[in-house]
Amino acid sequence: MEANMPKRKEPGKSLRIKVISMGNAEVGKSCIIKRYCEKRFVSKYLATIGIDYGVTKVQVRDREIKVNIFDMAGHPFFYEVRNEFYKDTQGVILVYDVGQKDTFDALDAWLAEMKQELGPHGNMENIVFVVCANKIDCPKHRSVDESEGRLWAESKGFLYFETSAQTGEGINEMFQTFYASIVDLFENGGKRPITNSSASFTKEQADTIRRIRNSKDSWDMLGVKPGASRDEVNKAYRKLAVLLHPDKCVAPGSEDAFKAVVNARTALLKSIK
Ligand code: GTP
Ligand code: MG
């Protein structure tokens, strides 16, 4: 049995799993867990000191799952406490605040911290990750849109949910899918089942959508030098259109990226004599 396979007490029935929460301070990790386990929300910020630990039981199909939840502190100050807790994990709840772009950008650093702590023999392939785009109840301040978050998550083979610990939106669905995926993984011998989402778009498509989103002007968007000819613009456009056409590309954000490319081409052709 692999190192981080769940512990099984009675064949075919109960499982014991370990789940951890990760993400910057104040993104809502503790509140998400509290909302699910205690059905309540506390608006006052009480920073987790090091680690909070809790146990809960859930039912997934015919199995009773005993879940050990380690809710980590996001503050860098607690790194020394956190780093003990990464090993033997079956599921990770990765949280960011949709109103704070830096908390989204930090997700890669969280994965890197976990990878480093697991060491060269640690295997992150047989861990289920769920990304929570949290605080969606505050849409006025939203700075990371759904397609951007979903693209990041799905291109890594992670689950993605939009959540609000305050209103409860998305929380139950997220946990149910998360636990069911951990059981699926266990029943599949520790191998991640090939899901539609992870198999349905390529890294090139995901990278292109991200590049388009971050481009500074229409030239940059089409990937041509300022002052390029009509032919060069059309050639670049055709290449992107083939890659991103909504009939062929189901990556999150592809439709907007395709529209942006069409608009960029129209604007450039107008400006080129
Ligand atoms: P650390 O323990 O320091 O790592 O923070 P955390 O990620 O556990 O954050 P916590 O759950 O303590 O929540 C931080 C603050 O955000 C608190 O004031 C919460 O009330 C608030 N909060 C959490 N989730 C939501 C949400 O979905 N919507 C809104 N509006 N506020 C939220
Ligand atoms: Mg906390």
The single-letter code of the amino acid at 238 is: R
Burial class (CB in 10 A: 0-12, 13-18, 19+), 258: buried
The ligand minimizing its distance to the Cα of 75 is 1
Q: Give the contacts of 106 (CB within 8 A, at least 6 positions apart).
A: 23, 24, 96
Ligand 2 geometric centre to CA of 259 (Å) = 40
| Tens digits of residue pLDDT in 228-272 | 999 999 999 999 999 999 888 889 999 999 999 999 999 999 998
Q: Give the contacts of 171 (CB within 8 A, at least 6 positions apart).
A: 32, 35, 36, 163, 164, 165
**Cβ contact 203:210 at 8 Å:** no
State the Cα angle at 171 between 99 and 88, rounded to 5°.
95
**Cβ contact 195:155 at 8 Å:** no
**CA-closest residue to ligand 1 atom 17:** 45
Reduced to 3 states, what is the DSSP secondary structure of residue 76?
helix
Nearest to 150 by CA among 93, 197, 111, 182: 197
The pLDDT of 210-228, averaged and rounded, is: 94
**Cβ contact 125:192 at 8 Å:** yes
Residues lining ion ligand 2 (Cβ < 5 A) are 29-30, 48
Residues contacting ligand 1 via CB (< 6 Å): 23, 25-31, 42-48, 73-75, 134-135, 137-138, 164-166
Question: Is ipTM over 0.95?
Answer: yes
Domains of the chain: 15-188 (3.40.50.300), 203-271 (1.10.287.110)
**CA-closest residue to ligand 1 atom 2:** 48
- Residue 198 clears pLDDT 60, i.e. is over it: no
What pLDDT is attached to residue 247? Answer: 85
What pLDDT is attached to residue 1? Answer: 45
**How sure is the predictor about 26, in pLDDT bands with cuts at 50, 70 and 90?**
very high
Q: Please choose from 20, 21, 24, 27 the residue to mutate so as to test ligand 1's pocket, defined by most ligand atoms within 8 A of CB.
A: 27
Nearest to 148 by CA among 252, 39, 264: 252
Confidence (pTM):
0.86
The ligand minimizing its distance to the Cα of 100 is 1
Burial class (CB in 10 A: 0-12, 13-18, 19+), 84: exposed
CB neighbours of residue 121 within 10 Å: 6
Q: Please choose from 20, 35, 45, 102 the residue to mutate so as to test ligand 1's pocket, defined by most ligand atoms within 8 A of CB.
A: 45
What pLDDT is attached to residue 248? Answer: 84
